[in-house]
Structure 1
């Protein structure tokens, strides 16, 4: 069994979306400076780095992340689909339809656009010109009963330069205005630069923080 990390370590170099405040890490106590122990103060928006968007992010009646059972973050039927996209391009229903048979029956869809390849070499472009999912993609994905989460290799599922589509996508996918309570979690800023052809199980474990909409996540796969 092989395990691969599909999340990025949080750091002061973590790209930030749409002008959000950056990650700050300050060493509060240092053995090298004569203290008895090392410890740090970490300041970050909860949507920096690899994280999970919970329903309450865009759905006023939605669950906070700590209200979701832990089993909901373990995926036994993941599927990876490659939909190459460039700066500011949208992933639409038409892009997803050829993969209907792969998506049906899956509990996690990982969309690999290839945009993650520039995360370390051009973080400004990665942050400000990301491809994202259109509202039509959200409506399409919500049809699949087994699907519990969607993730992608871009800083956000909402394209920074298509704000209306970004909002509409998140509202729909997170269950706003639905009477049946259905929602699909969104995992953003994922590291999908691996051979995932034999992916079998994915754990997307959030940091449980009381009272917040979404949270940082460590995501790894078994193959």
Structure 2
């Protein structure tokens, strides 16, 4: 068994969605400069880098990220789907329907569009022209009782260009307006550039920060 990292390290070069502020990392003390220890100040929006969108992100009655039990972030029936998409294209219900039998019974769905290859080679394209999900994809995915999270190789599950679709997708997936409390987490900006055919378990562990909607995540799999 081997472990594969599915998240990106946070850095000053991390691509950011649309007009979000960039990551800043400042060394506060330095052994090389005569201090006794090294220490850093990290300033970042909580949606930069690989992160998990929690319910409160778009759902005013939703849980904050630190209110979700840790077991919720451990997945034992992951499924990966290759659905190629280019600039500004949407993943629709029609794209997902052929995979109904694979999605059924899955607790984590990983969508690999191939767009992740632009993260380092063309970060502006990756940030400003990402594919995203259509609202009808959210309505379709919410039908699957076992599904607890959807991860993707895109900077966001919402396309920068298709704002209305992006908002509706997030609202539906994060449970806005539902009386049963159901939601599906969104794991954005994942590194899916691996052979993941044998994955058995995925850990998507958020940094628990009180009072926030979403948080950075280290994600890895056992294969």
Question: Could you tell me the TM-score, scaled by structure 2's length?
Answer: 1.00
Equivalent residue for 2:65?
65
What is the correspondence of 1:53-202 to structure 2 with a 5 Å cutoff?
53-202=53-202
Q: Distance in 1 between matches of 2:149 and 2:99?
A: 16
State the distance in 1 between where 2:177 and 2:84 align: 31
**Number of residue pairs the alignment of both structures matches:** 223
Structure 1 distance, partners of 2:117, 2:101, is: 27
Render the CA deviation track for 1:22-79: whole Å, top value 9, x for unaligned: 0000000000000000000000000000000000000000000000000000000000
Q: How far is the alpha carbon of 1:203 from its aligned partner?
A: 0.1
Aligned to 1:220: 220
User: SS in structure 2 opposite 1:119?
Assistant: helix
For residues 181 and 51 of structure 1, what CA distance do their matches in structure 2 show?
A: 22
Alignment correspondent of 1:211: 211
Task: Tell me the equivalent position of 1:21.
Answer: 21
Shift of 1:14: 0.1
- What residue number does 2:45 align with? 45
Cα distance, 1:200 vs structure 2: 0.5
Q: Distance in 1 between matches of 2:155 and 2:178?
A: 27
Query: Which segments of 5 or more consecutive residues in structure 2 lack a partner in the other structure?
Result: none
Moved over 4 A (4+): none
Gaps of 5+ in 1: none
| Structure 1 CA distance for aligned equivalents of residues 12 and 147 of structure 2 | 33
SS at match of 1:180: coil
Partners of 1:30 and 1:204 lie apart in 2 by 32
Distance 1:141 1:4 in 2: 26
Deviations 1:154-188 (A, max 9, x none): 00000000000000000000000001100000000
Q: Is 1:10 matched up with 2:14? A: no
2:216 aligns to what SS in structure 1? strand
Distance (Å, rounded) in 2 between the aligned partners of 1:111 and 1:161? 20
In the alignment, the residues of structure 1 paired with residue 151 and residue 217 of structure 2 have an alpha-carbon distance, to the nearest angstrom, of: 12
SS of the residue 1:209 aligns to: coil
TM-score by length of 1: 1.00
